[in-house]
Amino acid sequence: MVGERQGTVMKKTALWKDAWRAIAGNGKRFAAMLVIVAVGVMMLGGLNTIAKDIRAGLDEFFDSTSMHDVAIISTLGFDDDDIAALQQVNGVAKVSGEHTASVTTTIDGKQSSATVTTLNNQGVEQPYLKDGRLPKSAHEIAVTEQYLNDSDKALGDTLTFTPDDSLTSTAATSTSGTFADGEYTIVGTVINPNDIVNPSGPLALVSGAKTVYPMFVAEKALNNAESPYTSVVVAVSGAKALNTYENDYLNTVDDAVSNIESIQAEREQARTDAVHQAALDKAMASIDAQKAKIEALPDGLPAKTAAEQKIAEAETQAKNAVDAMPKAKWIISDRSAVTSYEDVKTQTEMIARLGTMFPVLFLIIALLVSLTAITRMIEEDRGLIGTYKALGYTRHEIMLKYVVYAAAACLFGGLIGDVLGLIGLPFAFTRKIITNMYVLPNYPLLVDWRLALGGILLFVIIITGAAMAACTGSLRLEPAELMRPKAPKAGKTIVLQRIGFIWNHLSFLGKVTARNLFRYKSRALMVIIGVLGCTALMTAGFGMGSSALTLMPRQHSEIAPYDVMAVTSAANHEKAQSDLDKDSDVESTLPLQLGSVTLAPAQEGGSAGNTADDAKLTAQLMVIPDGKSTDGYINLQTTDGSPIELKFADDGVIVTANAARKLALAAGSSVNLTDQMANTADATVHEIAQYYTGNLVVMSQSTYEQMFDADYAPNADLINVKGDDDAQIAFADDLAEQSEYLSVTSSAKQERDFSKSFRLFFIMIGFIVVMAAILAVVVLYTLASTNISERERELATIKVLGFRKREVHGYVNKEMLLLSAIGIVIGMPCGRALLGFLVSQLDLPGMNIVPNVLWFCYAGAAALALAFTLLVSLATNRALDRIDMVGALKSPE
């Protein structure tokens, strides 16, 4: 018994030693498997971790600023009774009213728009303090870093602003006299929690929206402390402890919103009554004064009777006027109405989807590489396996060697992949890309151990399973059969030999190459697949870059060919238009009305009603005057290039493709529009228009006036300017210095700034190219080295027959180059298809990226794939030179 146990222990020890020796003896194959596994685990863990880190960064930022969970605006504002009523709602922790006013300030001699908001006393939705302190006294103000950079000011400097009566958020937001006049001292630099987009990054540039600087003052800055609140911000009980994107947070907020909605109708009516009664009291006070004067007159005078009749008419008119006043209407929204919140949500979902797709590709490649490596190891160990079986080792014991080999490659590769994916990749990604898009102060580095271990486990199970499958065939054979050399495959006539006019014109080496390709079909297929994947990845990467970098030029050449967009207030537009008409540098202008609207699927009818959630987004509203053509300014066309005619006599609107995709809209769908005055209307989508940058809604003057029951008020011009890009930029700069203009945008300058800021796609391209290079080199090197080891006797024979080094190299490399060429040719259209898929997943806010693969993208992908093949060929040439002719010819294989 003791001897048997000792024998068993010795057998197992010998197997384990053999297993570890196999790793050292097959180091190149082991390294290839390790690298592929490391890359796959890195991408699985890294991309998913990046998504979680970005969301966690925004959640921490919202927590640090006590960001609202629910925001409410009203067409008639709010009073303290509204605040008190909301405070009593179940699920509401804190409620605070805010005063916000749209103002105009001067920056470098140019008129610029800003919003001034009071800091509330409940600490809800406070700006994030970067430097200095928050305002405390009446004439102190906090601004953003963007304002300091643009105005060349610093802490301690002063600024002034004037009310902007043309841009108000609600009917109750009268900016005139909201805040005290005079100079305000800058005491702090802050980040506005409602807008975290980097003003110099691609998302800001691509939107094309005018810059509006957020500013914050203390409540002491109010002229009238009793004035109604512009909006109300609410903190929900228990919500701060939850992740802002998780379902438990969303459900908690939804419950609070439902409770708020239960008092909405009552409070709307109470506010309506209060405002109407105040207006009536003010009108009646004047009438009562007139009554008192009339009553003092002697009775019976004809003049007195006529005056009493006029008083009665005045009373009736006052009551009718009050009855015609708008009623209070609440608009309740959660954080999904905050553009940055939704942007981060869609981008992290996109990154997580890529974090699932790319690892699948590398898992498949790892499976092919491991099958090739293990199969070749088994062929080389054929005699050893027969010996083991003859000595009494079981199938499972013999299989242990190859399972350990594969599992070790997966475990070591997985550990390296986890370090790179969970720490290195998120660190580089958030520092180099996300900080270019958002101004969040920091991002936590989260490590999800379930994801880390799960990624390794996934590769271990699949790769070791493949190793076990590769062993099964040989382990079924008898020891005597395994100890004999494997009989070579019988020669067969290949298809090409039957095509005489081709076969007869091939050289001897050409015929050998053709026969070898057909002889090793599986290996040939793997080479083609490896190069195909490499070429497809690089074609998609370069295509992504060309699609992104031509986005703005295509926007201006195909869709919006105007040179300059200039925005004024409605009151100043007539003078500005007159000056433009006289300007000799102006070629032509199109006056129109610009604003913004919030789009949402209509509740009833149309395909939009089938959306899973209540999606919303903000778009620029462009109202075209009746009878005016947009030719030469805005070329309205469908996504397939068909022109769209703007109708002037119905309620149809034109919605751009990016907004339509977000809201699941199509031609004929119903969409709800809410303007800046909180007026809402349902409209029919006339057509979906191609538009690459930003979201746009276009309608005619007649449609606008009918839909919103408001007068058309032009406040902007699209301008075509004489001269080149530099002349257009100079014209826009001169225009911006005039006091009438709130915003002036040059298309040429937008293009230049956009290309400079778009590091996102350059980094993405580099990442994809590196991944493609790793894929190609690992696959090609593994297959090339396996090919050489299998054909050592053949190669030794031709060397003995007098083939020189270059001839031997060409004998082997010609096959690899031919297979690579096939893979490249197939890979380029596959890369174009992959790009289409990636673009559909790359859901960047305000961008409608349409694949635009230029010729040099294909050329670059093909050249690099060929270069990787040549590099591998150079590396394997050394192995060819080291073949021992005598030893190879003596071998039994």
- Average pLDDT per block of 10 residues along the chain, 893 residues long: 54 71 77 85 83 85 89 88 91 90 81 85 87 90 89 89 55 55 90 78 56 87 83 91 90 92 90 83 74 66 68 75 79 82 77 77 78 79 80 81 86 89 78 70 79 87 85 79 70 72 75 74 79 86 80 82 87 87 88 86 50 65 87 85 73 83 83 78 86 85 85 89 87 80 82 65 73 80 76 74 77 82 91 83 66 87 89 80 64 56
**591 and 714 share one domain:** yes
pLDDT at 607: 37
Q: Is residue 672 part of a domain?
A: yes
Q: How many C-beta atoms lie closer than 10 Å to residue 515's C-beta?
A: 16
**609 and 695 share one domain:** yes
Which tokens in the block code for residue 362? Answer: 């590398």
The SS3 assignment for 845 reads coil
Which tokens in the block code for residue 766? Answer: 């580099």
Helix (H), strand (E) counts: the chain = 28, 21
pTM above 0.95, yes or no: no
Do residues 651 and 707 touch, judged by C-beta distance below 8 A? yes
Q: Which of 329, 364, 395 is the last residue of a domain?
A: 329
How distant, in Å, are the alpha carbons of 530, 556, 616 from that of 482?
32, 71, 69
Short-list 585, 523, 572, 574, CA closest to 820: 523
Q: Is residue 597 part of a domain?
A: yes
Q: Which of 329, 344, 359 is the last residue of a domain?
A: 329
**214 and 308 share one domain:** no
Q: Is residue 439 part of a domain?
A: no
Please list the helix, strand and coil fractions of the chain in percent, rounded to the nearest 5, in that order.
55, 15, 25
Q: Is residue 544 part of a domain?
A: no
**300 and 204 share one domain:** no
**312 and 210 share one domain:** no
Angle (CA) 196-200-203 rounded to 5° is: 60
**289 and 219 share one domain:** no
Q: Is residue 292 part of a domain?
A: yes
Structural domain boundaries enclosing 289: 284-329
The SS3 assignment for 713 reads coil
pLDDT at 630: 84
From CA 390, how far away is CA 386, in angstroms rounded?
6
**699 and 591 share one domain:** yes
pLDDT at 755: 63
Which tokens in the block code for residue 166? Answer: 């043309």
Cβ neighbours for 803, distance < 8 A, ≥ 6 positions apart:
811
**716 and 596 share one domain:** yes
What is the rounded end-to-end Cα distance, in angstroms, of the chain?
41
Query: Any bridge partners for residue 128, and if so which?
Result: 191
Q: Is residue 200 part of a domain?
A: yes
pLDDT at 473: 75
pLDDT at 169: 37
For helices 449-475 and 395-419, give the axis angle rounded to 10 degrees: 150
**221 and 314 share one domain:** no
Short-list 263, 478, 446, CA closest to 382: 478
From CA 166, how far away is CA 103, in angstroms rounded?
9
Chain mean position to CA 595: 25
Do residues 341 and 244 touch, judged by C-beta distance below 8 A? yes
Residue type, 743: S
**706 and 609 share one domain:** yes
Q: Which of 225, 259, 275 is the last residue of a domain?
A: 225
Do residues 171 and 216 touch, judged by C-beta distance below 8 A? no
Q: Is residue 109 part of a domain?
A: yes
Angle (CA) 752-758-760 rounded to 5° is: 175
Burial class of residue 522 in the structure, from the number of CB atoms within 10 Å of its CB (0-12 exposed, 13-18 middle, 19+ buried) = exposed
The SS3 assignment for 46 reads helix
**593 and 667 share one domain:** yes
pLDDT at 252: 92
Per DSSP bridges, beta strands 110-118 and 586-601 are unpaired
pLDDT at 483: 77
Q: Is residue 716 part of a domain?
A: yes
789 Rama sector, left if φ>0, alpha if ψ -120 to 50, beta otherwise: alpha
Do residues 562 and 720 touch, judged by C-beta distance below 8 A? yes
Exposure b/e, 355-372, CB count within 10 A at least 16 = b: beebbebbbebbbbbbbb
pLDDT at 188: 92
pLDDT at 155: 92
Question: What's the total number of domains in the chain?
Answer: 3
Which tokens in the block code for residue 390? Answer: 């003859």
Chain mean position to CA 440: 16
Specify the residue for token string 């009050």.
322
645, HSE (Cβ side, Cα atoms, 13 Å): 5
